[in-house]
Amino acid sequence: MSQFNIWEILDITLQTDSKPTSIINGIYDQSLNWKDVKWLQTITSLPIILKGVLTAEDTKLAIQAGAAGIIVSNHGARQLDYVPATITALEEVADLGL
Buried b (16+ CB within 10 A) or exposed e, 40-55: eeeeeeeebebeebbe
The upper half-sphere exposure of residue 22, i.e. CA atoms within 13 Å in the direction of its Cβ, equals 7
pTM score over 0.85 = no
Q: Are 14 and 22 in contact (CB under 8 A)?
A: yes
Q: What is the pLDDT of residue 65?
A: 94
- At residue 58 the predicted structure's pLDDT band, cuts being 50, 70 and 90, is very high
Higher pLDDT, 73 or 75: 73
Q: What is the pLDDT of residues 11-53, one digit of tens each?
A: 656 555 666 777 677 677 778 889 999 999 999 999 999 998 9
Active site residue 55: no
Over residues 67-93, mean pLDDT: 81
Which residues does 51 contact at the CB level (< 8 Å), separation at least 6?
70, 71, 73, 75
Residue 13 backbone phi and psi in degrees, to 5 = -95, 115
Residue 72 backbone phi and psi in degrees, to 5 = -80, 115
Q: What is the pLDDT of residue 13?
A: 60
Q: Of these residues, 75, 77, 84, 92, which one is catalytic?
A: 75
